[in-house]
Chain A
Amino acid sequence: MIRRTLLAIALLAATAPVRAQQSPADVIPLIDAHVHYSHDAWDYLPTQEAIAILRRSSLRKVLVSSSSDDGTQKLFEAAPDLIVPELRPYRRRGELSSWVRDDSIITHMEARLAKYRYVGIGEFHLYGADADLPVPKRMVALAKQHRLFLHAHSDAAAVQRLFVHDPNAIVLWAHSGFDRPDAVRDMLKRYPNLWADLAFRSDHASSGKVDPEWRKLFEEFPERFMVGTDTFTPERWHYIEEHAKWSRAWLADLPRALAEKIAYRNAEALFARTGYGYKVPPLN
């Protein structure tokens, strides 16, 4: 009887399809560089649930900015090993288009910068000549003073103005400006301190395959891109895990070294450029 059972097991093993087991080492580490935990998310998604989503998504680090910054601090306090904080200028949702003309934003940023540590200021929304207004200019000066990058949801014109205000600024261009690959290329060529996230855009990959134009761009600037979800409403927190899977699928279509850079190494290099004191943790 035992012999027959063993034989059956052996037969099953021999005839079963060979399935490639994915070991943890095969799962590419990932940094989500575009997450918000704003006040309307706190009730829907208490801090521990939010952290659980991030852990479940096997994220190495998460770059978080929130309206208000208290959301970022809640997450950082709960998971300092996971959360990388950046300072969003907004004190609440609804300041997206008014902050550029609101002097009190400066006082707010100065107070937060005195109290907490950050890798950057952002994500903020800034377009065209608005970048020359006093509030954004002072923000650039604060970033310079504290050695922080600027996470700009901007058109190319506003990014260019940020570099006029501080030619040595480091800018993370949110959504790669929603620009076409050619336009992104022009900007990356022109500004060595410009980095770009790919949040909330789907044009660079489809069904796990990288678009040829974007592939060329990634190969040309392998150290300048990173991925992110953009949780602009509370519900989108439930998309983080799906987004991580989607990102890992298209990254697997790239050579491993390039994929690792876009997946997490570029973000870590960016964090390390700031005054935050970011220490690159060992790989699991």
Chain B
Amino acid sequence: MKLPAAMALLLALISAAAQAADFDAAQTRRILGHGPWPPAESADRSNRLSGNRDAVRLGAMLFGEPRLSGNGAISCQTCHRPDHGWSEAKARSEGLRLQDRNAPGLLNVRLQRWFGWDGANDSLWAAGIRPILKDSEMGGSAAATAKLLREDAPLACLAQRVAPDYATGDDEAVLVLAAKALAAFQETINSPRTPFDEFRDALAANDRAGMARYPEAAQRGLALFTGRGQCGMCHTGANFSNGEFHDTGLVFFLNDPDRKPGTPRRADPGRHGGIAQLKANRFNLLGRYNDDASGQASIPARHVEQQHRNWGEFKVPSLRNLTATAPYMHNGSKPSLRDVILHYSDLDEDRLHSDGEAILKPLKLAEGEIADLQAFLESLSVPNDTAARYENLRREAAACR
């Protein structure tokens, strides 16, 4: 028995060495760039409640609070479902009316620099204000939010803990307080380490046995991702997103079922519209509610300008925990990971400007390569306990007296 076991170990080490050899120096560098995970945590300097434990509890309570909406029936978690990667299975979300876009997942949302598919917000807390106030989403108001925080016992208890004089502030200030607490909570929705992270760290440590534990199909998919696919050009870093906006050749006409015959179709302006909204938003980081006295946090909002290419661009999403957040793309037009891969495999170059997204070329993947790429993407997902932790936070919050 001992000899076969030793042989098996030897074979495994040789196999690991062969697999490692599949990654050249440049690819190895790129792979290492997708970690370590989790990244170091840092507070959001624009939000004085960032990292505040009571604010996290208050935010968790508010996240599931339907009384924030105009009809008392819609909360944040209606579309950002904890059991669905903090997204939902619908292609396009339904608030008070059908939305134009898919609800983005919120796992690791603290790592983003722009918020929403169009980056219309430059802080997580301002991104929480938009759905509360928007007529077609939750249809709430500053007045109703302030009333709720002043009158509901557990909410008032927590709000008083994080901002003792909040009740004397005007309604808008209380709305911002609620949004900052919501952001403080969302900053805690983080995904755990994945099989990819174990492989990446084994590669960093030249731990061949550790590398060998990563499935071969995922390794081949990773080679495609960091090599011919050039996927890592936009899906960069530990969170697999450069946080910016690109046109990947998707159709961005709005699928508007209520459109009357003979009336023009509408296009989703994407990032172009997002920048316009950002500039016009009094809750942006150039406004009075930014808690960052250094001015650092507001630099992007100060300098971002609309460009022609922004028309129809959407944010590069993170690839972590993708398996939980189908359907995909800004409009939920791709039901499965395979559909997403096929989009890039059969990319319609005519939909891209010839001087625009120069790295995007049809990958023309073979069936095996599609499976490998999918295996790699799936290796970025593991079950997580964020839904359970959310429920715990809500229980703790409800006990505040």
Contact = CB atoms under 8 A, between A and B. Distances in A.
Interface of A: 40, 44-45, 49, 52-53, 93-94, 96, 125, 153, 175, 178, 200-202, 206-207, 229-230, 232-239, 242-243, 246
Nearest to B310: A202
22 contacts: A44-B253, A45-B264, A53-B264, A96-B350, A200-B309, A202-B305, A202-B306, A202-B307, A202-B308, A230-B308, A230-B353, A232-B353, A233-B351, A234-B253, A235-B267, A235-B268, A237-B267, A238-B267, A239-B272, A239-B308, A239-B311, A242-B311
Contacts, number: 61
A236 B308 CA distance: 10
Nearest to B312: A235
B350 A93 contact: yes
Contacts of A206: 305
A236 B267 CA distance: 8
B152 interface: no
B305 A236 contact: no
A201 B308 contact: yes
Contacts of A45: 264-265
Contacts of A230: 308, 353
Contact of B308 (A94, A200, A234, A237): A200
> Most B CB atoms within 10 A — which of A201, A206, A233?
A233
B168 interface: no
A207 B312 CA distance: 20
A125 B265 contact: no
Nearest to B273: A242
Contacts of B353: 200, 230, 232
A195 to B, nearest CB: 19
Interface in B290-340: 305-309, 311-312
Interface of B: 251-253, 264-269, 272, 305-309, 311-312, 349-351, 353-355
Contacts of A175: 355
A206 B307 CA distance: 9
A233 B354 CA distance: 12
A200 B355 CA distance: 9
B311 A236 contact: yes
Given A94-B350, A235-B251, A238-B266, A243 B355 contact: no
A175 B350 CA distance: 18
Given A93-B350, A202-B308, A234-B253, 13 more contacts: A52-B264, A96-B350, A153-B354, A200-B308, A200-B353, A232-B353, A233-B312, A233-B351, A235-B267, A235-B312, A238-B267, A239-B308, A246-B306
A233 B166 CA distance: 50
The 4 closest A-B pairs by CB, nearest first: A202-B307, A235-B267, A238-B267, A93-B350
Contacts of B269: 238-239, 242
B267 to A, nearest CB: 4
Contacts of B351: 232-233
A156 B224 CA distance: 35
B267 A125 contact: no
Contacts of B253: 44, 234-235
A7 B312 CA distance: 51
A202 B269 CA distance: 17
Contacts of A44: 253, 265
> Most B CB atoms within 10 A — which of A49, A93, A235, A237?
A235
A143 to B, nearest CB: 21
B265 to A, nearest CB: 6
Contacts of B349: 96
Nearest to B311: A239
B105 to A, nearest CB: 25
